[in-house]
Amino acid sequence: MAVTILPLIQAQITLYGMSTLMILGNIGNIIIIILFYRRRQNSCAMYLLCAAIVQSATLTFNSVINLYGLNHSDPTVNSLFLCKFRAYITHIWNQTGRYLTVLACIDRYIWTANNAHARLINRPSTSRCLTIILFLFWHIFSIHIAVLVTITNGICSSFGVYYVIYQVYAATFLGLLPPILMSIFGFLAYHNMKKLHLRVRPIGNNGDDNSITHRRDRDLLLMVLTEVVIYVVTAIPYPFIVLEVAVTNYMGVIKSSQRIEIENFLNSIALTLFSITYGSRFYTYFAVSKAFRKDCKTLFIKWKNHVLGRSPINRTPRARQL
């Protein structure tokens, strides 16, 4: 029996917060996927496109299981396969999405660097190759989760020494390393952008088209930097919470029921903050990028005309009568 009101608050956050986040987040991520798929030849857009796909999958999968568990028994404690599968596959999706954002930051840093040889990394073929390598890496590097996570006393989790090792691993590779790398390369990209004074570098006789492309690249940089700020802010509590819980459990500290509920509540809030970053991408991009808002408006008009059965207006000027 609960000794505080925190489990009730946690349940309400899961019910209303996660359901709202799942709906709005998936709507936004679908729009990102549609818009960025058209610009997938841009390496940064490719990273953000793939990140939106895997993070939308994570958001949906976790939200459905959490919402189901509110009024039913947790399905992951009744099936060892589902227990291992959820822990393993969601970890892969989460990590791939996070480090795709890291690659987007590195991509923007290289784009702002005044080095023609370094910008060869911005090629679409390179971005596709790095995305595949990253995805395969996390499949292999995270295999310990599928092996060692198990069900004990009706709880699907890690136990014993592995519990402490996993919490340290999670704090490092989930809570510390991604925001540090994002911050470093995001700051360097911003510094380079200010250093270059955002000047346009026309190529050949196609200066107007290059100017448009350059502005879109700058918008991508702004979108990535804003996402980095949100990720860093929402990721700050996680490593401290999980390390405190892991260390005190390993040391055998006797905890009251009240303290356990507080720790579970704080851990739930930290994970919810992570979920916010998965579902807020579209709204962040929409707020900071004029080009993204223009693309969204064009897409919405196209959908509206399709629903109403309207044909696109022909804006080609008629020949002048002589």
Tell whether the model's pLDDT for residue 184 goes beyond 90.
yes
The domain covering 6-302 belongs, at the CATH homologous superfamily level, to Rhodopsin 7-helix transmembrane proteins (1.20.1070.10)
pLDDT(304) > 70: yes
Q: How far apart are CA 147 and CA 190, in angstroms?
A: 42
Q: What pTM was computed for the model?
A: 0.84
Q: Is 151 helix (H, G, I), strand (E, B) or coil?
A: strand
- Which pLDDT does position 207 carry in this prediction? 47
Q: Where are the domains of the chain?
A: 6-302
What distance in Å separates the CA atoms of residue 87 and residue 82, rounded to the nearest whole number?
Answer: 8
What confidence score (pLDDT) does residue 136 get? 96
For residue 316, pLDDT beyond 60: no
Judged by average pLDDT, the poorest of 59-63, 68-72, 287-291 is 68-72
Query: Mind listing the pLDDT tens digit for each residue in 75-111?
Result: 888 889 999 999 999 999 999 999 999 999 999 898 8
For residue 312, the model assigns a pLDDT of: 56
pLDDT of residue 206: 46
Q: What is the average pLDDT across 158-186?
A: 90
Which pLDDT band, with edges at 50, 70 and 90, does 191 fall under?
Answer: confident
Mean pLDDT for the stretch of residues 2-26: 86
Contacts of 209 (CB under 8 A, 6+ apart): none
Distance CA 61, CA 59 (A): 6
The average pLDDT across 137-161 equals 92
In the chain, the percentage of residues whose pLDDT exceeds 90 is: 35
What pLDDT is stored for residue 238 in this prediction?
A: 84
Lowest mean pLDDT among 35-39, 168-172, 239-243: 239-243
DSSP string, 28-57: HHHHHHHHHHTTTTSHHHHHHHHHHHHHHH
What pLDDT is recorded for position 310?
67
Q: How far is CA 79 from the centre of its chain?
A: 28
pLDDT mean across residues, the chain:
84
Give the rounded distance of the alpha carbon of 33 from its chain centre: 13
Instruction: Measure Cα distances from 242 to 62, 102, 266 in Å.
Output: 19, 23, 9
- DSSP string across 148-169: H-EEETTEEE--HHHHHHHHHH
Whole-number pLDDT of residue 311: 59
The DSSP code for 320 is P
- Which of these, 301, 285, 171, 190, lies nearest to 237 by C-alpha position? 171
Question: What mean pLDDT comes out for the span 282-307?
Answer: 90
Mean pLDDT check: name the lowest of 123-127, 143-147, 292-296. Answer: 123-127
126: phi then psi, degrees, rounded to nearest 5: -70, -40
* Res 318: pLDDT: 44
**Closest of 106, 102, 94 to residue 53, by C-alpha:** 94
